[in-house]
Structure 1
């Protein structure tokens, strides 16, 4: 990376300060700053508990794919889900912070930032089936950016696997069944996406939350990870309060900024899942206003 490339997620990137979300309780994490994004790594699970990236949609560059996956030398190898997890199987090294998201600004800085996304702490095991639902998941930031284009084209995105205790184990790593994503942007008085509440003056934080469920795609009963060929990823828009409870993370002001009307929470301690969430089949199904 170049010396001028700022390291880590910037809490002041949007008009309204937005702190880096963190796991609740005493869960230990390793904070790993990279150019324009940060990974909070759970060393016991060897996977990220949170990633946070700043995206300047007005300055994104079309950077050719360069870079190779690498272990982060700042932490022990045993705390990272490295190449052995992904070898000779149907498991993808799924980028949590997408390669193109931090690739904005000066060309050299943009390239350094995109190459940094190949750090293994920024990867998580995902079933390799590629279908419409997965394409939708990968394009959610783009869809939010298009809407945020009415303001300053800046979006902060938080993505991670849901690290559940019941996730199946494979090659020493528990494979996440679900992933979450929360996109946040700021809205101004003349933004058509802005609430019409006359009592709110000045910039307002807005956010949308999503869950990808790959539960039906993973099978480790025979000691290998198999992906049923006809199954599908399921993608949902979800109340951010549900994500906070499901993933055990403190999403702070993002809960109140949710553009999705609130639903019944987890008062009874049960996770409702897809039966109560908004299923997405296309980008037009996303609620952003």
Structure 2
């Protein structure tokens, strides 16, 4: 068990730290492709099983619905799995087991311990819970909002949300399967939920009930979250099966589950638990109604610790190896923005403010992609930073300013699509950047009493990722005038609904981006004949470059947006268009020079001339 080391730093079995990182990256990036095979139910890392006995050899373990003879594979629409996985310099054997999985709310048994299916006040983890349209699952733990310390009840998406429901839905305890008197059993409302690779999870408010965070029959209160390792012993307290014991059997597991009713199959990340043979029991690890219970680590003396190992969401469908699947707590807590302690948002923000700032991350994509530089003839126009450098750094983005134009020449930013957060912009004010002298910034005087927009160069929504405090800091940093450029309001507003405003989102929709990560570069194009307004020249063109990796291969797309500002005095915008072009042509137009990792890529023949782009289908992918 580890509750201090990140998963990427732990070693698996006898693999080195480097090989462990390589294997984890393979599962994360390539694992979902294997789940497209209709017969494959999961992929993960565990110890190879030979003749029914577990060895000490690390293997990539697949589970399949049915083990089939080779001559049956094609007829069943499936494919043979490899004998080993080779990635970089690493060769890892594979293992294939016959197991199917179902969410642990399917076929809730009629018989369950009455203490777990009756109404509780205060409510406690380990008892029946649901929303008014689902059946019954388990209240896993009492958790707290990171922003303000508000208490919530934690369970699964399919317990508290489910098909046909929405945020704000009423929740009850016990679940409707156990007691359909929903008025009498009101608990609160669904607050947040997630269903995807990060987990099957949700939280409800506790507006109609008191609570006690002590887990029923385990008599512990979770205080920390841990990172499961192979062989760790764990225990859970579920609505149907009561207290059950297990051992972590696979890690880095992606499991394919059918959620039905319009949702279909989803791939959920987590780890697998097998029976603890040392207990000498033949109890089910997972039964219908156990969904949402939390697995707790057990210490060496067999006692239940106060460290949470995972959030239970699925079990075997019968007929195969007895097993249970749980989400990783770190992923769940990140997605739901929760904690196990009622730390207030102000405390977290104070900690974030004390941490050193950081800007664009050159190694964000794995390959080294440095931020842009400027051609030699523009060197004298760089606005100096107060620390003596030429680059301003803020949370998740960096930039270089033009002294003469008082706008950024370029802005470089990173986007982590897996941890993006929707944060409000209300009460955040545009302000001068303290790192640059005011004389080198275009301030609020340009925007007052007209229809000019303060247009973000690095999109605000691109920057709000990472831990809550970090995301909020990026949210606020995005409003410095160094990240702002004047834009006609109809251009700015139209672009939000058009392709330019959602280029980053379009890449996610069109391409299987490794780890959902992008590095983006953008800025205005300066022309000597840009129209002057209130003593400043307003750019009529903007550029953007998107860099990302697919299957480890770095890819770059460059775009140019032209707006006609000839009628600025009447603020009547003419048509604007988006073009795709090569990096070489973009450098020629802007003087912005890009990293060799980007420029060394061959230019597509279709971009011999700039190409008009009106929809994603027009992009040369």
Which band: TM-score by shorter chain?
Answer: 0.7 to 0.9
Structure 1 residue aligned with 2:561, among 212, 219, 228?
Answer: 212
**Paired position in structure 2 for 1:28:** 381
Counterparts of 1:207 and 1:172 in 2: how far apart (Å)?
36
* 1:160-239 correspondence runs (5 A): 160-188=523-551, 203-214=552-563, 216-220=564-568, 225-229=569-573, 231-239=574-582
**Paired position in structure 2 for 1:269:** none
**Paired position in structure 2 for 1:287:** 620
- Could you tell me whether the CA contact under 8 Å between 2:495 and 2:501 is conserved in 1? no
- Secondary structure at the counterpart of residue 515 of structure 2: coil
**Paired position in structure 2 for 1:16:** 367
- Secondary structure at the counterpart of residue 463 of structure 2: coil
- Secondary structure at the counterpart of residue 43 of structure 1: coil
1:59 lines up with 2:419 in the alignment: yes
Counterparts of 2:602 and 2:461 in 1: how far apart (Å)?
25
1:48 lines up with 2:408 in the alignment: yes
1:24 CA drift (Å): 0.7
- Secondary structure at the counterpart of residue 422 of structure 2: coil
Counterparts of 1:262 and 1:23 in 2: how far apart (Å)?
27
1:213 CA drift (Å): 0.3
Give 1 or 2 for the bigger CA radius of gyration.
2
**Which has the bigger relative contact order, CA under 8 A and spacing at least 6?**
1
1:148 CA drift (Å): 4.8
**TM-score under structure 2 length normalisation:** 0.39
Structure 2 residue aligned with 1:72, among 428, 433, 445?
Answer: 433
1:147 CA drift (Å): 4.0
Structure 1 window deviating more from structure 2 (16-25 vs 70-79): it is 70-79
1:121 CA drift (Å): 0.7
- Could you tell me whether the CA contact under 8 Å between 1:90 and 1:226 is conserved in 2? no
- Gapped runs of 5+ residues in structure 2? 1-351, 385-390
- Could you tell me whether the CA contact under 8 Å between 1:127 and 1:218 is conserved in 2? no
**Paired position in structure 2 for 1:135:** 498
Counterparts of 2:425 and 2:602 in 1: how far apart (Å)?
33
* Cα 1:96/1:284, change in 2 over 3 Å: same
* Cα 1:211/1:35, change in 2 over 3 Å: same
- Could you tell me whether the CA contact under 8 Å between 1:145 and 1:155 is conserved in 2? no
Counterparts of 1:237 and 1:5 in 2: how far apart (Å)?
37
1:49 CA drift (Å): 0.2
- Could you tell me whether the CA contact under 8 Å between 1:259 and 1:287 is conserved in 2? no
Q: What number of residue pairs does the alignment pair up?
A: 257
**C-alpha RMSD over aligned residues:** 2.1
1:219-258 deviations in whole A, cap 9, x for unaligned?
A: 35xxxx43325x2221111122111111111113323336
Counterparts of 2:524 and 2:474 in 1: how far apart (Å)?
22
**TM-score under structure 1 length normalisation:** 0.82
